[in-house]
């Protein structure tokens, strides 16, 4: 993974401080689609698992595709797995028993059949984390997990991808747990990743959320890192990129990891031998763009209704934006911003656009404006 040393360093500091009993802030990573939030989150998860932390890793689901599995159940499932691993590593001695007992009572409240507590061989701690209120129960769970972790010189980490898709009460419960454990310097941390709308959603859930997290915007890679992302994986396979070919892919991608990945892969697939030259790069870029059009952009465009597409078209002249919401309303021939409010809200809900600031609106997908402007009316 190229160009994320600072973010990784910030997290390594959290791990190191926990080992010596010092507290740190939880972290929220925000960025556009395809910028590399998920791979970074996976990397951080691994950095916590290695020294034996209790780690739960979940992906939030948008309301529309939320299945029976609630946030509570998903967290339980992931925690169960981690607790069994950690128990194997540390043994069931002393304080870990407390963490397991509270986890068991939390998970049984979530699924009375006990399916989420399989393999956790302790009696549940009755009266702990089992009221049924997510806010209360999650905090008690966090507290007891962190208490055990602290005694072992490790911490508890809950990683949430697509965090903007959590329901407000779920965001609130996470904030409460971080806040309450933080006040007593307990090593319980959340690392969330999501669209740039996430800090706003957190602030709405809990007014103090702004102070609770270290917000780290994840952006495109700089030229050096982007070049490394292209060259190093190939080098390890004995394939050499010409400097011109690298330059071509890096500048066309504007450093967006997902674009780099698609262009470089297509160039690699096209190049006949162990060298990738300018021609292969040009072919790769063209093929990569066609693939982005057919998948990355098309899948989102297809999810928009006709009225939503009109709204996106009205945004397109501003490029990657942002656009003024008022100006968009005018372009759509509406006298007031309220008239397009519902369409705008639906597009935000679908994760296609976000409001970087009050009164502004922008695409969550880099390059979407260009795609939209090429679609027939």
Residues that bind Mg ion (CB under 5 A): 37-38
Among 31-39, 96-104, 183-191, 239-247, the segment contacting ligand ATP (CB under 6 A): 31-39
Q: Torsion angle of alpha carbons 238, 243, 248, 251, nearest 10°?
A: 110
Tell me the C-alpha distance between 192 and 212, whole Å. 12
Asked if 220 is part of the footprint of ligand ATP (rule: CB under 6 A), the reply reads: no
Task: Spell out, one character per residue from 140 to 179, where the chain touches ligand ATP: x when CB under 6 A holds, - when not.
Answer: ----------------------------------------
- Which one of ligand ATP, Mg ion, none is in contact with 96 (Cβ closer than 5 to 8 A by kind)? none
Tell me the C-alpha distance between 264 and 296, whole Å. 16
- Which one of ligand ATP, Mg ion, none is in contact with 232 (Cβ closer than 5 to 8 A by kind)? none
Tell me the C-alpha distance between 363 and 371, whole Å. 11
CB-based contacts of 160, cutoff 8 Å, min separation 6: 58, 59, 60, 166, 174, 190, 191, 192, 193, 194
Asked if 39 is part of the footprint of ligand ATP (rule: CB under 6 A), the reply reads: yes
The answer to whether 249 touches 276, Cβ cutoff 8 Å, is no
Count helices and strands in the chain by DSSP H and E runs: 17, 10
Q: Please identify which residue in 81, 252, 261, 324 interacts with ligand ATP, judged by CB under 6 A.
A: 261
Asked if 77 is part of the footprint of ligand ATP (rule: CB under 6 A), the reply reads: no
Asked if 38 is part of the footprint of ligand ATP (rule: CB under 6 A), the reply reads: yes
The conformational region for residue 367 under phi > 0 = left, psi -120 to 50 = alpha, else beta, is left
Closest approach of ligand ATP to the CB of residue 4, in Å: 5
The conformational region for residue 3 under phi > 0 = left, psi -120 to 50 = alpha, else beta, is left
C-beta of 33 vs 128, nearer to ligand ATP: 33
Closest approach of ligand ATP to the CB of residue 32, in Å: 7
Return the DSSP state at 165.
G
Closest approach of ligand ATP to the CB of residue 228, in Å: 8
C-beta of 115 vs 268, nearer to ligand ATP: 268
The answer to whether 270 touches 287, Cβ cutoff 8 Å, is yes
Return phi, psi of residue 49, to 5°. Answer: -70, -40
C-beta of 198 vs 209, nearer to ligand ATP: 198
Asked if 3 is part of the footprint of ligand ATP (rule: CB under 6 A), the reply reads: yes
Q: Which residue number places its CB atom closest to Mg ion?
A: 38
Asked if 258 is part of the footprint of ligand ATP (rule: CB under 6 A), the reply reads: yes
- Which one of ligand ATP, Mg ion, none is in contact with 261 (Cβ closer than 5 to 8 A by kind)? ligand ATP
Among 78-86, 121-129, 139-147, 257-265, the segment contacting ligand ATP (CB under 6 A): 257-265
Burial 73-99 (b: 16+ CB within 10 A, else e): bbbbbbbbebbeebbeebeeeeebebb
Binding interface with ligand ATP (CB under 6 A) = 1-4, 31, 33-39, 221, 229, 257-258, 261
């Amino acid at each position: 993974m190229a160009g994320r040393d600072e973010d990784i360093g910030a997290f390594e500091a959290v791990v190191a401080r926990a080992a010596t009993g010092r507290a740190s802030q939880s972290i929220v990573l925000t960025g556009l689609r395809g910028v590399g939030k998920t791979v970074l989150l996976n990397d951080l998860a691994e950095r916590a698992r290695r020294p034996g932390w209790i780690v739960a890793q979940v992906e939030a689901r948008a309301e529309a595709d939320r299945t029976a599995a609630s946030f509570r159940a998903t967290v339980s499932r992931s925690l169960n797995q981690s607790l069994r691993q950690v128990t194997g590593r540390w043994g069931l001695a002393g304080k870990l028993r407390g963490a397991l007992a509270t986890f068991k009572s939390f998970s049984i409240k979530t699924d009375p059949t006990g399916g989420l507590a399989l393999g956790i061989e302790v009696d549940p701690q009755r009266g702990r984390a089992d009221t049924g209120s997510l806010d209360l129960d999650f905090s008690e769970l966090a507290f007891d997990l962190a208490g055990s972790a602290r005694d072992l010189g490790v911490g508890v980490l809950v990683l949430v991808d697509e965090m903007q898709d959590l329901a407000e009460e779920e965001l609130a419960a996470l904030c409460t747990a971080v806040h309450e454990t933080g006040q007593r310097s307990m090593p319980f941390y959340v690392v969330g990743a999501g669209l740039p709308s996430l800090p706003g959603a957190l602030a709405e859930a809990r007014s103090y959320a702004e102070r609770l997290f270290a917000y780290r915007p994840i952006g495109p890679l700089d030229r050096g890192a982007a070049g490394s992302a292209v060259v190093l994986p190939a080098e390890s396979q004995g394939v050499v990129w010409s400097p011109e070919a690298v330059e071509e892919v890096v500048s066309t991608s504007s450093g967006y990891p997902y674009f780099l990945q698609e262009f470089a892969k297509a160039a690699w697939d096209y190049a006949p031998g162990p060298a990738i030259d300018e021609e292969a790069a040009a072919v790769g870029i063209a093929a990569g763009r066609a693939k982005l059009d057919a998948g990355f952009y098309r899948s989102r465009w297809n999810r928009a209704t006709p009225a939503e597409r009109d709204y996106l078209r009205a945004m397109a002249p501003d490029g990657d934006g942002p656009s003024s919401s008022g100006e968009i309303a005018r372009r759509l021939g509406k006298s007031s911003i309220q008239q397009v409010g519902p369409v705008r809200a639906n597009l935000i809900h679908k994760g296609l656009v976000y409001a970087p600031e009050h009164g502004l609106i922008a695409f969550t997908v880099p390059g979407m404006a260009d795609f939209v402007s090429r679609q027939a009316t």
